[in-house]
Amino acid sequence: MQTRVKRHPERGHYDRETVDAILDAGFLCHLGFVVDGQPYVIPTLHARVGDVLYLHGSPASRMLKEMGKGAPVCVTVTHLDGIVLAKSVFNHSVNYRSVLVMGAPRSVEGDEKWDALHAIVDHIAPGRWEEARQPSDKELKTTEVVALSLEECSAKIRSGPPVDSPQDRDLDVPIGVIPLELVRGDVA
């Protein structure tokens, strides 16, 4: 398993319930791929439907051209939940939830492409697919959608208070967690 957590293995989670919850709560993923030996990492939107992660973009993009050929990729979704302040700067950290997915995506067409776009739009703005005009045939031709199996994935989670070194426990330094959260606002 390529996605097995090696550093801090106690933070690794492999059950699909945990993985799915992190993917579903995220809006933005980062997609890593290699073209002619050069690595790239691109932010993009995603949606999970069952055991598949869907990603979309322009057919002219380097990212989707390579993905459509079945080139291996790595996708991450990360939620930053808090800044962890310890007594020593060495022990400062962050609380987070993340998922890593690896595999070779496949291009999707027809009804699956339509359904994937529907899922991506509604993942970002629930109910929006039915409220707004749907894509024309021309627009569908200028949009590429790829599917990535969730067969090879894992989650990594860090939560809780700071962990201070024994020699720092008596230092008079404030410690704790500064919570962070993503908040959906109103349409501007």
- Which CATH number belongs to the domain containing residue 45 in this structure? 2.30.110.10
Q: What local confidence, expressed as pLDDT, does residue 58 receive?
A: 79
In a domain, 91, yes or no: yes
> Is pLDDT above 80 for 14?
yes
- 32 assigned to some structural domain: yes
Domain count, the chain: 1
- Determine the Cα–Cα distance for residues 172 and 164; give it in Å rounded to an integer: 12
Asked if residue 151 has pLDDT above 90, the reply is yes
Q: Note the pLDDT of residue 35.
A: 87
Buried b (16+ CB within 10 A) or exposed e, 139-156: ebeebbbbbbebebbbbb
Is 13 part of a structural domain of the chain? yes
Structure confidence by residue, pLDDT tens digits, 127-148:
999 999 999 999 998 998 999 9
Q: For residue range 32-68, what is the model confidence (pLDDT) as tens digits?
A: 999 889 999 999 999 999 999 999 887 777 777 777 6
81 in Cβ contact with 181 (< 8 Å):
yes
Average pLDDT over residues 64-84: 88
Could you tell me if residue 125 is inside a domain?
Answer: yes
Note whether residue 23 is domain-resident: yes
pLDDT at 59: 76
Let me know if residue 26 belongs to a domain: yes
Better-predicted residue by pLDDT, 37 or 96 = 96
The average pLDDT across 107-113 equals: 94
96 in Cβ contact with 81 (< 8 Å): yes
* Long-range CB contacts (within 8 A, 24+) of 118-125: 119/47, 119/48, 119/49, 119/54, 120/45, 120/46, 120/47, 120/54, 120/56, 122/47, 123/24, 123/27, 123/45, 123/46, 123/47, 123/48, 124/27, 124/45
Would residue 19 count as lying in a domain? yes
Q: Is residue 1 part of a domain?
A: no
In percent, how much of the chain has pLDDT > 70? 98
- Predicted TM-score (pTM) of the model is 0.92
Query: Which pLDDT value is given to residue 68?
Result: 66
- The mean pLDDT of the chain is 93
The Cα 157–Cα 18 span in angstroms is: 10
Whether the Cβ atoms of residue 87 and residue 23 lie closer than 8 Å to each other: no
Separation of alpha carbons 22 and 75, rounded Å: 13
Check whether 126 has a pLDDT greater than 70.
Answer: yes
Q: In angstroms, rounded to a whole number, what is the distance separating the alpha carbons of residues 103 and 1?
A: 11
Domain that residue 13 falls in: 9-160+173-179
